[in-house]
Structure 1
Amino acid sequence: MTTGGWFPPEGDVHVRIWLADMVFDYTATTAAVRNLIHDWRKRHWCTIELIRHTIEDCGLLPRLPCEQLFLGP
């Protein structure tokens, strides 16, 4: 997974997580998503998508559950 040049340095992003056949859309801080992706690279336990076209509408989505856990070291 790459974030390319469009991944904002700060703020919120739209992250989509696939667990089996279930899809979950969330808003999370870029720092939390970077840490989530770092954790995911160690063991692929789901599929993660970063949705670019909805970055402006992230306020309409629920926050990533336990987002604070991904903000720590």
Structure 2
Amino acid sequence: MTGKGWFPPEGDVHVRIWLAGVVFDYRATAAAVRNLIHDWRRKHWCTIELIRDAIDAHRLLPRLPCEQLFLGP
């Protein structure tokens, strides 16, 4: 998975997580999503999609649960 072509350096990102056939759509800071993907690469525990949509479309999404955990080291 690579998002270098369009992944924003900051701001919020729309992330879709597939877990046991259930879809969860969230918004999270770009930094948290980078760390989430880094963790995911070590052990694939779900499927992750980065959704490229208009900024207004993901403002209504809930924040990624425990997003602060992915902002630490």
- Does TM, scored on the shorter chain, surpass 0.5? yes
The residue that corresponds to 1:27 in the other structure is: 27
CA contact (8 A) 1:14 1:54 kept: no
The residue that corresponds to 1:8 in the other structure is: 8
Using the TM superposition, give the Cα deviation of residue 48 of structure 1 relative to its aligned residue in structure 2, in angstroms.
0.1
Instruction: Number of aligned residue pairs: give it.
Output: 73
Residue identity in the other structure for 1:72? G
The residue that corresponds to 1:60 in the other structure is: 60
The residue matched to 1:60 in structure 2 has which SS? coil
1:16-71: per-residue Cα shift (whole Å, max 9, x none)? 00001100000000000000000000000000000002444221100000000000
The residue that corresponds to 1:43 in the other structure is: 43
Identity of aligned residues (%): 81
TM value normalised by structure 2? 0.94
TM value normalised by structure 1? 0.94
Which runs of 5 or more residues in structure 1 are unaligned?
none
Residue identity in the other structure for 1:8? P
Which runs of 5 or more residues in structure 2 are unaligned?
none
Could you say if the C-alpha distance between residues 8 and 33 of structure 1 is closer, same or farther in structure 2, counting changes exceeding 3 Å? same
**In 2: Cα distance, 1:10 partner to 1:21 partner:** 30
Could you say if the C-alpha distance between residues 54 and 24 of structure 1 is closer, same or farther in structure 2, counting changes exceeding 3 Å? farther
**In 1: Cα distance, 2:42 partner to 2:55 partner:** 26
